[in-house]
Structure 1
C-alpha cells in the first residue's frame, strides 16, 4: 500500500481541486447556466472520467513529479486536451443536462492549470526546500501539506545516494539520468551534466544543470557534492577519454564508464562499471557483424571446437544471439566448457539448445562420435595450442594438436556431410618464426587444399593479439602492477596488433558467412602498438608510483613485430570494409599429402628437434626468430617509423623509449 500512497494522495488533491472549480463555476461564475444537483453530478462524473482516462492513457500515474521536467508537464497538458475532446463529444450525445461550450472550456482549463501548477510548486519545493531562510521554511511547510506529514527535501532524500556528474548530455547521458531519476531505489543520483555543446551549456534537463568543461572545476563539482564522474559518451575518441580520465583522476572522485552495448545480449543490462585498460588505451570496439549475417547462422546446428577457450566462448555467446538450432561446445577442458554452458543457460532461460562434449581434436574416434550424434551444419575450429614459448618446448604436441587435430576435424566434416568449415587462425602464421605460428600456417594450407576437393566449403580467418584473452599481456601487466611491480617486457622494441575478443569472434562469423570457398580472410587492424608504451600508459592510469619496467629478453620463438598478410599487394576487398581476402593459390592435394607425410614421419620419431626441422621443410617461410629480428633491428627506419605511427595515432603511451624505465604517475603527463 505504501507503494501507491503518493499516487492516491495526488488523486485526492486533484478531486478536491476539481470540486472547488466546479462549485466556483456553477455558483460564482455568472456566465454558467445553473445546473440541478443531478445535472451537476452527471457533468462532474463525465468530466472526471474523461480526465482519468486521458491521464491513464498518457501513463501520467507513473510519473515521479518531484523530478518532473518540461516534457512531463507538456504531456499533462496534451493528455488533458485529449480528455477535453472526448468530454465535449460525449457531453453532446449523452442524455444529461448540457452547459455552454465556453463554460466547459473554462472549467476544464482552470482544472488543468491548477493541477499543473500544484505539481510544479511541489517540484520546486522538493528541490529548493533545503534553504535556511524564510522561503525554505515556506517550501518545507508546503511539502508537509502536500504529503500530510514530513517529506524529505531533495538534499535530505538524496543523502544516502551517490551523487554523480555525467559527462555527456546527449542521448546516452540523458537516458542514464532518466533511468536513475525514475528509480527511487537507484544507488546513484545525477546532480549535473558536463558537455561541450554550446547549445546545451547553461540549460537544465529535468532540473539538472549542464556545465561546460571549464565551469566543471573540482571546486564547482564539490559544491554539487559530486562523489563520482560517469562517462556516457559512446563515441568519444580514445585519446580524449584518456585525457579526461587522467584529469578527473586527480580530483579524487570515483570514475566510471556507462556501459551502453550496441548489441543487446539477453540477461545483460546496461550498467555503470569501472574503467578497464581496454576502454582507455585502445580504439572503440568495432562492430563487424552485418545485419544479414545472423540469418546465415539461424536454425543451424553449429559445432565449436575449443568452445571453452577465450575465442571459442565468445563465439558461443555471439552465435547464441543469432538463434541457432543447436550449439555444440567441444573442448578437452571441462571446467571452461561448463562455465560457458551455464552462462548461456542462465542468459537464455532454456530457450537455447546447448550441448557440451568433452573431447580432444586429436581423438578421432571420440570426435567421430560427436559428428555421428549431431551432424553439424557448420564447424568452427577454434581448438589449438597457442602459447608461443610453451610450444617451442613441446613441438610434437603442437603439431599433433594443431595440425593433425585440424586434419581430423576437416576429414570428419567431409565424412558426415558438414557443409561449412571455418578455421580460426593467427597473424603469427604469416612468415612464422615459431612452432605455434608454423603449425597454424600448415592448418591454413590444409584448409585451402581441402576447399578444392570435397563438398565442404572451407575458409580461414586470421587476426592479431586478443585483448584480455588467457595468457595475453594486459592481464599480466595488471597483476604485476597490483603486486607493486616490476612490469616485465621482453624487448622495448616489440610491436603488436591488438583487437578485442568480441571483434575477433565477430570477424570469424562475418567472414564465415560471406565465404564462398577457400578464402583466407584478414581484418584491417589499424596501427600496431608498442608494448613498452602500453606498459608505461598502464602504470600512469593506475595511479601507482614507482613501478619499474624491466626488459627480460625475447622469449623462444618471439619476433619483434607481427604481420597480418603474406603479400600486402595481393589483397582483395570484400563488401565489409574491414575484411580483406588474401589471394593465394591453394596447394594441390598431392602437395599437401607430401607435406603431411613429412610431418607424420617426423612425429613418429618422438623427437621435438626432428619435428621442428620437418616444419621448416613444410613451411618455406618459417625462419628462425634470430634471423628475422636481426634484419628488423638492423633496419632502424622500420623501428622508428612504427614507433612514430604508434604515438601519432594516440595508441597506448606517449613516453619515448629514451626516457627512464622507472616512472611514476606524477612524473608523466
Structure 2
C-alpha cells in the first residue's frame, strides 16, 4: 500500500529562513522585540490617556521610544531569552522576558522621579509593562505557530496520529515538529477529560474518531506514546488499530527508558509481547537472592539468548563474581562488554571472568569451578535449532547430553550448591533429536540428584523466547521490509512465547526452589498460531495481506512445509502430575525417571555411536530410551552414509 503525503503542497523544499544561521535568526527576533516594545510604550500612553496620539506628552518623551526598547532588548539578552528555541519554549523559559519588561518599566518610574518633572502619568509604566508582556509573548506565539503551519503545509511529511496525550506523547509531538519525516496531525486518548481539548497545540480525539482522521488527513502512521501501559492494555489498543490501513509504531517501555537502553524519541516496531498482551510478574527478591546474592555464579552458554540475559539479571542481584563460560569468542566478548556498561549504569563493580571453552572439556570445566569457587551454575549451553541438530545428530547428543553430564558431575564432585538446567518444551514427547537430547539431559540430572547430598540439581522447562536467534519475529520483520513473502512452515503450527527477561528471571527463581531432581515448568500462557501472528504483523505495518480473497494485497504468506523434526504443537508436561509453587508462574512437575542401570546402558550406547560415527544408532538409542520420542522425519544427518546428498 502506497503511503500518501497529504500535507506536501511544495515537495522537497526547505522552510523559509531554514538556511539562516542561528545568529541571524536571533538578530531578527531582537528587531521584532524592539518594534514590540516601541508599540507597547505607545500603547501605555494611549490606554492611560484614551488618545491615539497624546502629543502633549510624546514631544517631551520621544527619546523614551529609543532608549526603553533598546534597554528591553539588552535585558532580554542578559536574561537568556534569546538562547531559547522558540518552538520548544515553555513558561519557565519566558521568565527572562518578564524580568526584562519589569526592569524597563521600573526604569521609566525612576527617570520620572529623578527628573522631578511629570513626564507622564504614573500608571503609564504599568500599562506599558502589561502591553509589552503581551506583545513579546505574542511574537513568540505567532512565530511558533507559523513554524508549525509551514511544517504542515510546506514540508513533505507523513501525517501521523499520536495515541496517548500524556507526557510521552507531548515530548514525541514536540520532537516530530523538528524532524523531516512525520507531522503530528492529532492526538488520540482514551481519557475522556482530555478529549476535545488541545495539548501542545494539537487536538485530542477519542479512539472512535480514528477512521475519520485517517480518511480526512491522509494519515500513514499511528505512533503509540503510552510507555507506562501494560502489555494487556497495549494489546487491546492494537486489536482496535489492526483494522486500519496504517503503520503502527511504538515508544519503548518506561523500564527501557530508565535503564538507558533506548532514547525516548526512538520509535520502533510493535513488539510481540504487545501483541500477546502478556505481562510478567515482578520477581520475588528472596528467591533471587537465595541462589545469586553474594555468590560466585557460573553461566555456561553465557553468550546465547538466555545465557546473556541470565548474566544481566545476575548482575542486578549483586553476586560475588560471575564466570562466563562460552564456546564462541564473539559471543562472550559481546556479553562481557554489555555487563561492563550495565555495571557503569548501576554504579557497582562485580568481577567478571570470561572463559572460552566447550562444556565437554572435563579438565577445563573442573579448573574453572575450582579456581573461582563456583557456588551456582546455570547451564544454558546447548544446541537448540531443531533442523540443524537433525542434520548433526551425534554433535547434538555430544553437546546436549554428555556436555550436561560433564558439567553436572563436576558440580557434584566440587560441591557446587545449585545446578540449574535450562530445558525446553521440545523435550516433552519429542519429535526431533534436539528435544530428545534435552529430555535425556533432564533424566541425567534426575539420576544424579538421587545420590547428591551437597548439590541441588533442578531443571526449568519453557517454550520459545522472543528475540532469540531463530525467532520468527525478526524474520517476519525483515521479510516485510523486503516486500515479502512471509514464510510459515504450516497453517496450523502454534508455539508458546515468553520474553527473554521474564524467562531468565523465572529460571533464577525456580532454581532457588530446587531441592533435588525438580522439574519446573513455566506458565507460558496461551499458545500462538504463527500464521495469525504473521497476518497481524503485516496489517500493523500498514500493509494488506495478499491471498485469494485479496489478490490486490501487498504481502502474501508462503507455507513451506514442516522441517525435519518440527512438530505442529508444543507441550510443557509429560504427565498430569503437576503442583503449584510459591510463584504463580512456576509449577513443579513429577515425571518418570530411568533407573540407574537403564541410564548407564543408554549412555554407553550413545557413547559408542559417537565413537563409531553411527548417527542411525545414536537416534535409535534415543528413541528406545526416551518415552514418547517419535521422529517426525527420516534420518537426515549430513554425515550419515544412509543420506543421499543432492
Correspondence list, 1:526-537, <5 A? 526-537=525-536
Tell me the number of residue pairs that the alignment of Structure 1 and Structure 2 aligns: 541
State the partner residue of 2:627: 620
Q: Is 1:336–2:331 an aligned residue pair?
A: yes
State the partner residue of 1:305: 300
Please report the TM-score for the alignment, with normalisation by the length of structure 2.
Answer: 0.68
Structure 1 residues 214 and 393, CA gap change in structure 2 (3 angstroms): closer
The structure with higher relative contact order (CA 8 Å, sep 6+) is 2
Residue from 164, 167, 172 that aligns with 2:163 = 167
Q: CA deviation at 1:464?
A: 0.9
Structure 1 residues 239 and 310, CA gap change in structure 2 (3 angstroms): same
Structure 1 residues 578 and 173, CA gap change in structure 2 (3 angstroms): farther
Q: Distance in 1 between matches of 2:365 and 2:265?
A: 41
Structure 1 residues 554 and 220, CA gap change in structure 2 (3 angstroms): closer
Q: CA deviation at 1:432?
A: 1.7
Of 214-223 and 400-409, deviating more is 214-223
Structure 1 residues 392 and 511, CA gap change in structure 2 (3 angstroms): same
Q: CA deviation at 1:314?
A: 2.6
Q: Distance in 2 between matches of 1:319 and 1:611?
A: 37
Residue from 406, 421, 445 that aligns with 2:404 = 406
Paired residues of 2:445 and 2:517 also in contact (CA < 8 A): yes
Q: Is 1:316–2:333 an aligned residue pair?
A: no
Q: Distance in 2 between matches of 1:222 and 1:337?
A: 53
Paired residues of 1:306 and 1:384 also in contact (CA < 8 A): yes
Q: Distance in 1 between matches of 2:434 and 2:469?
A: 16
Q: Distance in 2 between matches of 1:493 and 1:268?
A: 36
State the partner residue of 1:232: 225
Q: Distance in 2 between matches of 1:585 and 1:574?
A: 23
Q: Is 1:423–2:421 an aligned residue pair?
A: yes
Q: Distance in 1 between matches of 2:350 and 2:215?
A: 47
* Structure 2 segments unaligned to the other structure (5+ residues): 1-20, 46-78, 100-122, 548-554, 635-646
Residues 6-55 of structure 1: per-residue CA shift (max 9 Å, x gap): 9x99xx99xx99xx9xx99xxxxxxxxxxxxxxxxxxxxxxxxxxxxxxx
Q: CA deviation at 1:203?
A: 1.4
Q: CA deviation at 1:218?
A: 6.0
Paired residues of 2:577 and 2:589 also in contact (CA < 8 A): no
Correspondence list, 1:240-389, <5 A? 240-249=237-246, 255-262=248-255, 264-276=258-270, 278=272, 281-284=275-278, 286-287=280-281, 289-292=283-286, 295-296=289-290, 297-349=292-344, 351=349, 353-389=351-387
Paired residues of 1:288 and 1:510 also in contact (CA < 8 A): no
Q: Distance in 2 between matches of 1:565 and 1:424?
A: 15
Residue from 377, 387, 390 that aligns with 2:388 = 390
State the partner residue of 1:600: 607
3-state DSSP class of the match of 2:266? strand
Q: Is 1:497–2:496 an aligned residue pair?
A: yes
Q: Is 1:564–2:572 an aligned residue pair?
A: yes
Q: Distance in 2 between matches of 1:534 and 1:424?
A: 26
State the partner residue of 1:209: 203
Q: Distance in 2 between matches of 1:444 and 1:115?
A: 80
Structure 1 residues 554 and 65, CA gap change in structure 2 (3 angstroms): closer
Q: Distance in 2 between matches of 1:418 and 1:489?
A: 43
Structure 1 residues 187 and 120, CA gap change in structure 2 (3 angstroms): farther
Paired residues of 1:167 and 1:232 also in contact (CA < 8 A): yes
Q: Distance in 2 between matches of 1:301 and 1:272?
A: 37
Structure 1 residues 450 and 240, CA gap change in structure 2 (3 angstroms): same
Q: Distance in 1 between matches of 2:441 and 2:275?
A: 33
Residues 451-509 of structure 1: per-residue CA shift (max 9 Å, x gap): 34131222211111223322333444455555665554443332222223333223222
Q: CA deviation at 1:406?
A: 0.5
RMSD: 4.9
Paired residues of 2:623 and 2:629 also in contact (CA < 8 A): yes
Structure 1 residues 66 and 335, CA gap change in structure 2 (3 angstroms): closer
Structure 1 residues 330 and 194, CA gap change in structure 2 (3 angstroms): same
Please report the TM-score for the alignment, with normalisation by the length of structure 1.
Answer: 0.66
Q: Distance in 1 between matches of 2:219 and 2:486?
A: 34
Q: CA deviation at 1:549?
A: 4.2
Residues 544-586 of structure 1: per-residue CA shift (max 9 Å, x gap): 74655444443332322111112235332333x2221113476
